[in-house]
Structure 1
Amino acid sequence: MTSESPEGQRPSDWGGLSLSVEQVELRFGGIRALRGVSFAAGAGEITAVIGPNGAGKTSVFNTISGFYRPASGRVLLGSDDITDTPVYGRAGLGLARTFQNIALFHGLSVLENIKLGGHHLMRSGLMSSLLYARSAQQEELALRAEIERRVIDFLEIDHIRHKPVDALSYGLQKRVELARALAMRPRVLLLDEPVAGMNREETEDMARFILDVQEDWGVTVLLVEHDMGMVMDISSHVVVLNFGEVIASGSPAEVRRHPEVIRAYLGAEAEEAEEAIA
């Protein structure tokens, strides 16, 4: 996409930020969910976090998002330490997220759901918005115009923008959730199982959109996903967790051949595991 925002900036002008997790410990009572987890997602790259069920992937995402506070360690967005920054503050710094279980507002249309992602960017105060003052009205119209040009066209969902999200297929609902995250103008985008439950065609479409977000907009993407074919195809870096610890990190090719990953992640014989990852 080459469309511009109301301020005259292309999405790629904002650029992605690096994201670093440093020695993060997370405990729930006596359970250590994360054990000194450290890894980095390079600015403008796609990094995947994989691992078996219960490995700690969702705990990492919830810590980065601000839903969980680590017992120790820190999370850096660019050069900013956001460990103690509340969820809404992280959104203002350029961090956006989708969820494994679709979190759309089912009483609203596609366009209304997407617009909610951009409302934290509006400068009009609560009273102006309630009274629908001229300044608030202009901001609302500008936000809608930007979303229609920059997000809806980009994700090829113009034909459904006025439909209620309840009436959409599962795959389209996942695309709308991605659209809402993109409306936040993210510099780092967290995708939690973006193709879970999708058929092959829907998976290929979503993979293409993720690549376009990274390549055309320069956004840093961190994703958790069980579809190993998709992960290996689009990621530049892969981090593997098991029992709350990082057991491997590197390029898809390196991780694919890592013996500990083959044993711990798939729990299969080496030859069978290599075939499954490939």
Structure 2
Amino acid sequence: MLSVTHASLAFGGIRALDDVSFTAETGHITAIIGPNGAGKTSLFNIISGFYQPQSGSIHFDGTDITGMRADKRAAMGMARTFQNIALFRGMTVLDNIKLGGHTRLRSGFWSSGFYYGAARREEAALRADIERDVIDFLELDHIRKAPVAALPYGLQKRVELARALAMRPKVLLLDEPVAGMNREETEDMARFILDIQDRWETTILLVEHDMGMVMDISNKVIVLNFGRKIADGTPDVVQRQPDVIEAYLGTSEDREVTV
């Protein structure tokens, strides 16, 4: 579904990504891990179109999207959430989620501008679809009319996931979806991610620091360190590799000192 080939990205003299290549299989969960500053979010940014790599290529569902704008990638079926919550805080939960469905609307300029005919029917259908397949699915019905700013952090993260799901994505990029959550919220989010994969066979890319969650739900793990890929494989294989242990999980001596 998605492949990155020899991608490099630099900001002045800082190489955020250095010749990174990997593939994400259709319907699988691929996790990208690494220390802070390893290049994980930069990788997400070149995949989603916020940055352009200086070299290399990105293919999505058989199409070269390397030079494509972010909105065109979204229209093709790519959605993402952000490390820092990026919701419209003055709007309700439902209105925030509905914004995610903009790529599915096809009404013309005049009907949309005056909000009549096809535009009115299309938005009504979108709202019904979101309420049935997204809000109920993510257990947000009880807060759909609440302003986002009034919600606790964990629910705001879930609303952001709902907005991405409203796009009906083929590929879903989740940038630290459980950062800052307690254990119960983390378990709920992990369950929702697995349910998304199972229900819609969505290809999911996941950046996350919670190693327990990553190893539990991922089919494949990519490890970055200083912008370079140092490991690529199943969770069981990756977590035993010495380079990964030293760079991210800590050496045995480190763990003994911590204990």
- Identify the TM-score tier after normalising by the shorter chain: over 0.9
In structure 1, the partner of 2:251 is 269
CA shift digits 1:251-273 (9 cap, x unpaired): 1011110000011113x323655
TM-score (norm 1): 0.90
Identify the match of residue 139 of structure 2 among 147, 152, 156.
156
TM-score (norm 2): 0.97
Instruction: Report the count of equivalent residues.
Output: 257
Between 128-137 and 165-174, report the one with greater CA deviation: 128-137
Structure 2 residue runs without a partner (length 5+) = none
Q: How does 1:1-278 map to 2 (within 5 A)?
A: 18-266=1-249, 268-270=250-252
Residue pair 1:259, 1:270 contacting (<8 A) in 2 also:
no
Match of 1:246, SS state, is strand
Q: CA RMSD in A?
A: 1.3
Structure 1 CA distance for aligned equivalents of residues 110 and 82 of structure 2: 31
Residue pair 1:75, 1:81 contacting (<8 A) in 2 also:
yes
Structure 2 CA distance for aligned equivalents of residues 126 and 164 of structure 1: 29
Residue pair 1:232, 1:252 contacting (<8 A) in 2 also:
yes
Structure 1 CA distance for aligned equivalents of residues 251 and 222 of structure 2: 21
Structure 1 CA distance for aligned equivalents of residues 109 and 146 of structure 2: 28
Structure 1 CA distance for aligned equivalents of residues 173 and 85 of structure 2: 14
| Percent of matched pairs sharing the same residue | 68
In structure 2, the partner of 1:7 is none
- What amino acid is the match of 1:226? H
Match of 1:184, SS state, is coil
> How much does 1:51 deviate?
0.1
Structure 1 CA distance for aligned equivalents of residues 253 and 79 of structure 2: 38
Structure 1 residue runs without a partner (length 5+) = 1-17
- What amino acid is the match of 2:228? E
